[in-house]
Amino acid sequence: MEIVIREDSDHVARTVADIIEGYVRRGPAVLGLATGSTPLASYKELIRRHREEGLSYSEAQAFLLDEYVGLPVEHPESYHSVIRREFTDHVDLDPSSIHSPGGAAPDLAAEAIRYDRSIASAGGVDVQILGIGTDGHVGFNEPMSSLSSRTRVKTLTEQTRQDNARFFDSLDDVPHHVLTQGLGTITDARHLLLIGLGEAKADAIAAAVEGPLAAACPASVLQLHPHVTVVVDEAAASRLKFADYYRHTLDNKPAWQAF
């Protein structure tokens, strides 16, 4: 696990964009995209690079982590609508190459299997962007999710519903259930890119990076993965015990070594 501490969210966004750009420029990339507020500045930077620096996503495919159960795909808060609005409609990524779990499917168990198969058929995810919940969730794998779970229905914690209520008219409108890639699905991606911003995420980042491997902090499963980059701002890094070591490592990173 490589921990990259940047002074603010703009620097975090540039680092994330550098990593994603590397995959996109190397050939047809399979991108794992996350919704939520955390990656928004990174998406803005990737859009800017498309407009100003000719970064083309025309050969890329994108897979989303999760979707609310019961929201039709065209609902403005479905994650399929959100990722189009915040990122992919502003670049040349073919809309038919954006894949998401069908939260309105009549048979959610069958849809979950279909979604995992579609990721595998695309050759697996090259790089997966992840945010983290205040309770340590990644995707919508709430605490006590199996560390080897596949895509399935999960029930949101009340904390997560409250955290997400800002996107809806009221808390009552936030669905209770989601279809989410499992922790086993997520960790099949070849490179995991976890972003943490702000003081509110400091405890979750510390538990994920330095805490015990435990289903109580689902993001701690990243400790088992051979290629993880955690990009955080100073506030999100503020409870990391080994922060000085991470800074020292970055200061001494060999020029030839990529993230």
The CA distance from 112 to 181, in Å, is 8
Count interface residues toward ligand PGA (CB under 6 A): 7
Phi-psi region of 54 (alpha: psi -120 to 50; beta: other; left: phi over 0): left
Cβ atoms of residues 127 and 193 within 8 Å: yes
Residue number with CB closer to ligand PGA (37 or 238): 37
| 37 near ligand PGA, judged by CB under 6 A | yes
Q: Looking at 6, 15, 29, 38, which residue binds ligand PGA (CB under 6 A)?
A: 38
Q: Torsion over CA of 24, 89, 35 and 196, rounded to 10 degrees? A: 50
| 133 near ligand PGA, judged by CB under 6 A | yes
* Residues 83-122 close enough to bind ligand PGA by CB under 6 A: none
Q: To the nearest whole angstrom, how small is the minimum distance from the Cβ of residue 124 to ligand PGA? A: 21
Residue number with CB closer to ligand PGA (23 or 43): 43
Q: Looking at 12, 19, 24, 36, which residue binds ligand PGA (CB under 6 A)?
A: 36
| 157 near ligand PGA, judged by CB under 6 A | no
Residue number with CB closer to ligand PGA (98 or 156): 156
Q: Torsion over CA of 209, 214, 215 and 217, rounded to 10 degrees? A: -30
Would you call 30 exposed, middle or buried from its count of C-beta atoms within 10 A (0-12, 13-18, 19+)?
A: buried
Q: Looking at 12, 132, 189, 217, which residue binds ligand PGA (CB under 6 A)?
A: 132
For 6, phi then psi, to 5°, come to -110, 155
The CA distance from 125 to 112, in Å, is 16
Cβ atoms of residues 214 and 137 within 8 Å: no
* Residues 136-155 close enough to bind ligand PGA by CB under 6 A: 137
Q: To the nearest whole angstrom, how small is the minimum distance from the Cβ of residue 195 to ligand PGA? A: 8
Q: To the nearest whole angstrom, how small is the minimum distance from the Cβ of residue 137 to ligand PGA? A: 6
By CB under 6 A, which span of 11-19, 49-57, 125-133, 245-253 interacts with ligand PGA? 125-133
Residue among 59, 79, 63 at smallest CA distance from 116:
63
Q: To the nearest whole angstrom, how small is the minimum distance from the Cβ of residue 65 to ligand PGA? A: 8
Q: Which residue is nearest to ligand PGA (CB)?
A: 36
Q: Which two tokens stand for residue 21?
A: 């750009």
Residues assigned a catalytic role: 66, 135, 137, 142
Q: To the nearest whole angstrom, how small is the minimum distance from the Cβ of residue 217 to ligand PGA? A: 13
Cβ atoms of residues 153 and 218 within 8 Å: no
Q: To the nearest whole angstrom, how small is the minimum distance from the Cβ of residue 131 to ligand PGA? A: 3
Residue number with CB closer to ligand PGA (97 or 181): 181
* Secondary structure E strands in 96-186: 98-99, 127-130, 152-155, 177-180
Residues that bind ligand PGA (CB under 6 A): 36-38, 131-133, 137
